[in-house]
Amino acid sequence: TPVSLKLRIKKKLDVLEEKLYFHRPLKTDHLIEKQSDLPVVKRCKEQANRVLNFQGNLGTAWRVDFSDVFEKFVQHIF
């Protein structure tokens, strides 16, 4: 995210961060697909459900840079 953009919305980001400080994430084991979802969103949810439902014994550590995920998500929306 460009620094100029971060500086423009810094106050809003600070307010959101403060409000979400004590917010605990919800654990999920299934994403619900809706009729109103775009086809690309449905495919993403299908893939996510496959990952969530994987019950294998082998575990592999992986990392995701969620700033990249969010940026691609916003780009897709616009």
pLDDT of residue 58: 58
9, HSE (Cβ side, Cα atoms, 13 Å): 8
Residue with structure tokens 């084991």? 29
pLDDT of residue 73: 81
Q: Tell me the average confidence (pLDDT) per consecutive run of 10 residues in the chain, 78 residues long.
A: 85 89 83 92 91 69 75 80
pLDDT of residue 69: 81
pLDDT of residue 23: 83
Global pTM exceeds 0.85 = no
Kindly write down the DSSP assignment for every residue of 19-66, as one continuous string.
Answer: HHTTPPPPP-S-PPP-TTS-HHHHHHHHHHHHHHH---S--------H
